[in-house]
Amino acid sequence: MSDTSGGGDRTEQATARRLEKAREEGTIVRAHAVAGAAVLLAGAFVLLVGGARLVALLEFSLRSGLGLPAEQMRDPARLIAVAAGVMRPGLTALVPFLLLMAAVAFVADLLIGGWIFSTRPLVPDWSRIDPVQGFGRLFSGPALAEIVKALVKSAVVGAVAFWLVRSRAAGFLHIAVESWPYATQHAAGLAAELLLALAVALAAVTVLEIPYQMWSFRDRMKMSRQEIKDEHRELEGSPQTRRRIRGLRLKRARMRMMTEVAKADVVVTNPQHYAAALAYREGRMRAPQLVAKGTGLIALRIREVAAEHGVPVVEAPPLTRAICRYVELGDEIPAGLYGAVAEVLAYVYRLRAARDAGRPAPVVPPNRLFEPPAEFDA
């Protein structure tokens, strides 16, 4: 999309197409601190629930390593198997924990912005290694905002950590004089409390960061009026193409309209400048329906098609002008025109009955019977 007007006058909200293209390119709103807070919360929960089991497995791994016979440690052929046996209990405890943390971080990162897969960020962007542009980005508004956010997070988390360590200092010192395995269990409990408090503090800061990230993303996606015009031109095509499409649509609509004329019950005319074709199917329509209308050459074509298919043509100038002005194609005749249209249809039915019986055509009613009410004066 062109950027002829620069970025200073981007005052318009991004269009749906702009947001879609940005998503295809891998540009979406993210709040990565959510993943950090979620990992800390999950870690604290795991330590609170399964800390004792984790400590027991690590203790078993340590005892296995310290209790190995010296001859096994000197035999290179058995060393790998012995090492695997020693590390297996510890890995049994740590691998599920690490996989859980990775899954939590992955899912939490998708909470803001959702899932997206794009190879566009993998394409080399040489502007990123341009020292001039890099120096400019270093002192830009977004970079300053990131620095401020990092300082705020560090201050909040650091203050909470300092308060926790200070308030739990006696507990940490008491671990040194406790016996095994009570010391490890006590340490796991203190670590879980520390992680939980840090996670809550980081989550509180993250809750404040999410609105900023969403606002920042919308601000980056803003467009200038020229960009919006260029996008509309891109989507709709050139004026010549739009005129051609409109012409083709109009041509097809006229062809469909002429097909409906052949199935109409009557065509009322002006008699030269206007023509309207009406159809009424008793039991299927509540009122007569306008199936074709037009002026000039279109009106002439409607009369020609009606003559080719034996559709009666009745001259009713005021009624025809009112129908062409107040009724759209496919709509039913409004209640105010029921009387005049009923007179026309009654004459048409008498005309058909006379033709079927081989009698002379009935006399056309006076034009005043076909005139619409004053409110439909066209």
Judged against a pLDDT cut of 50, whether residue 74 lies above it is answered with yes
pLDDT digits (tens, 9 = 90+) for 233-268: 766 656 666 677 676 666 776 778 888 888 888 899
The three-state secondary structure class of 266 is: strand
Q: Are residues 70 and 199 in the same domain?
A: yes
Q: Are residues 193 and 288 in the same domain?
A: no
In a domain, 134, yes or no: yes
Q: Are residues 216 and 282 in the same domain?
A: no
pLDDT computed for residue 119 by the predictor: 65
Name the residue with higher pLDDT: 77 or 39.
Answer: 39
- Give DSSP secondary structure letters for 174-220: HHTTSPTTHHHHHHHHHHHHHHHHHHHHHHHHHHHHHHHHHHHHHHH
Q: Which domain holds residue 336?
A: 258-376
Q: Are residues 226 and 316 in the same domain?
A: no
In a domain, 110, yes or no: yes
Last residue of a domain, one of 217, 233, 249: 233
Number of domains in the chain: 2
234 in Cβ contact with 21 (< 8 Å): no
Tell me phi and psi for residue 275, to 5 degrees. -150, 140
In a domain, 199, yes or no: yes
Q: DSSP code of 277?
A: E
CATH number at residue 335: 3.40.1690.10
244 in Cβ contact with 72 (< 8 Å): no
The three-state secondary structure class of 329 is: coil
pLDDT computed for residue 6 by the predictor: 42
266 in Cβ contact with 344 (< 8 Å): yes
303 Cβ neighbours under 8 A, 6+ residues apart = 267, 269, 275, 313
* Average pLDDT of the chain, as a whole number: 77
Name the residue with higher pLDDT: 372 or 307.
Answer: 307
Last residue of a domain, one of 233, 267, 297: 233
Q: Are residues 111 and 175 in the same domain?
A: yes
Report the interhelical angle of 182-220 vs 141-167 (nearest 10°): 160
Q: Are residues 327 and 370 in the same domain?
A: yes
Q: Are residues 283 and 217 in the same domain?
A: no
Last residue of a domain, one of 188, 216, 233: 233
- Write down the pTM of the prediction: 0.41
Judged against a pLDDT cut of 80, whether residue 76 lies above it is answered with no
Locate 163 and state its tokens.
């308060």
Q: Are residues 216 and 268 in the same domain?
A: no
In a domain, 5, yes or no: no
Q: Are residues 37 and 145 in the same domain?
A: yes
Q: Are residues 207 and 344 in the same domain?
A: no
pLDDT computed for residue 138 by the predictor: 65
Q: Are residues 28 and 119 in the same domain?
A: yes
113 in Cβ contact with 216 (< 8 Å): no
pLDDT digits (tens, 9 = 90+) for 117-138: 666 666 666 566 666 666 666 6
pLDDT digits (tens, 9 = 90+) for 276-321: 999 988 878 888 988 888 888 888 988 898 888 888 898 888 888 8
pLDDT computed for residue 7 by the predictor: 45
pLDDT computed for residue 187 by the predictor: 74
pLDDT computed for residue 203 by the predictor: 77
In a domain, 250, yes or no: no
pLDDT computed for residue 5 by the predictor: 41
Query: Which whole number is the average pLDDT over 180-204?
Result: 75
pLDDT computed for residue 4 by the predictor: 41
In a domain, 212, yes or no: yes
pLDDT computed for residue 202 by the predictor: 77
Report the percent of the chain where pLDDT is more than 70: 75
In a domain, 6, yes or no: no
Q: Are residues 128 and 80 in the same domain?
A: yes
- Nearest of 8, 2, 14 to residue 218 by alpha carbon: 14
Q: DSSP code of 273?
A: S
Most confident of 36-40, 113-117, 180-184: 36-40
Burial of 117: CB neighbours in 10 Å, binned 0-12, 13-18, 19+: exposed
In a domain, 339, yes or no: yes
